[in-house]
Amino acid sequence: MAVKPKVLVTREVFDETLAYLGRHCEVESNQKDVPFDADTLAQRLKDKDGVVCCLTDRIDGQLLARCPRLKVAANIAVGFNNIDLAACTAHHVLATNTPGVLDDSTADLAWTLMLAAARRLTEAETYVRAGQWKGWHLKQLLGVDVHHATLGIIGMGRIGQAIARRAEGFEMRVIYHNRSRLAADIEQRLKATYVSKDELLAQADFVVLQMPYSPQTHHLIGEAELKKMKPSAILINSTRGGVVDDTALIRALKGGTIRAAGLDVFESEPRLNPEFLALKNVVLAPHIGSSTEATRSAMAMTAAQNAVAALTGGTPPNLLNPECKL
């Protein structure tokens, strides 16, 4: 009987994910969901052939040097800034992600933040829960309209396009900026117009960020960019912490440089800057962009399928480093 490859699942996952992995692999799972520090992760991986990991796990050269058997790192996320691809390739480790399955749920969350920030929903709920609401009046918690406004999307990949598609129902003007311009037929289908980043910042009523985090996108939105936005504009970050300079954003929100923000991600999360908590004009969420039962289940299963493919002689469908040779 063939020996099954050994796999570590670093965080709690769904029963069906473990059942699928168990049919193909010998599985050790962290169902207690206590994040591993770097040393513990290395210890757990030293005799493993594969790891199904999360964005909380750093997969880098230092770790891989201690895990000589490792053949695949299957990330339960579309983003992979927690994985050093060059180090994986150097150590002959296939790296994978989970694109596609979370696009719509993440787009929904971006819209949730947009609507909540525009209509001051966090502030309104706090007002009601504190027992301060004494009745209706005309100028109570005045917000701004989303319909007929200009939506600016920076990062027009799959999720950015899903965000743009939803704008049609609000009869919004959609402008976007991307590393490369979309094909004309896609622009036409999305009713989206390509502009420079500076044009987008100057024109948009809502600026939505949806690009991967990398050294090139670090602090893509900082003090200078915030000053280019309208004082009435709202910034939405539903992509990755570090794309926005949080300290500069706090100053902008305090000083009225922009109207409001909706944030699902933060620099150094979960240790967000405590000054955010004192602001009324920011909606805060704990990195839940893809957090629906159906989507997170699909993400975990996709990662498991990537791992099994790599460990049974196949090519993972979502391979990030095809230049890697096992």
- The residues annotated as belonging to the active site are 240, 269, 287
Q: Is the Cβ–Cβ distance between 98 and 302 less than 8 Å?
A: yes
SS3 273: coil
Phi and psi at residue 289, to the nearest 5°: -50, -40
- Tell me the CA distances in angstroms from 275 to 11, 233, 243, one per residue in order: 30, 20, 18
Q: Is the Cβ–Cβ distance between 143 and 119 less than 8 Å?
A: yes
What is the token pair recorded at 312? 């049974």
Cis amide leading into 5 (omega within 30): no
Single out the residue of 299, 270, 316 nearest to residue 100, CA to CA.
Answer: 299
Q: Is the Cβ–Cβ distance between 236 and 113 less than 8 Å?
A: yes
| C-alpha count within 13 angstroms, C-beta hemisphere, residue 240 | 21
- Tell me the CA distances in angstroms from 34 to 1, 10, 19, 29, one per residue in order: 34, 9, 21, 11
DSSP codes joined into one string, 87-128: HHHHTT-EEE---STTHHHHHHHHHHHHHHHHTTHHHHHHHH
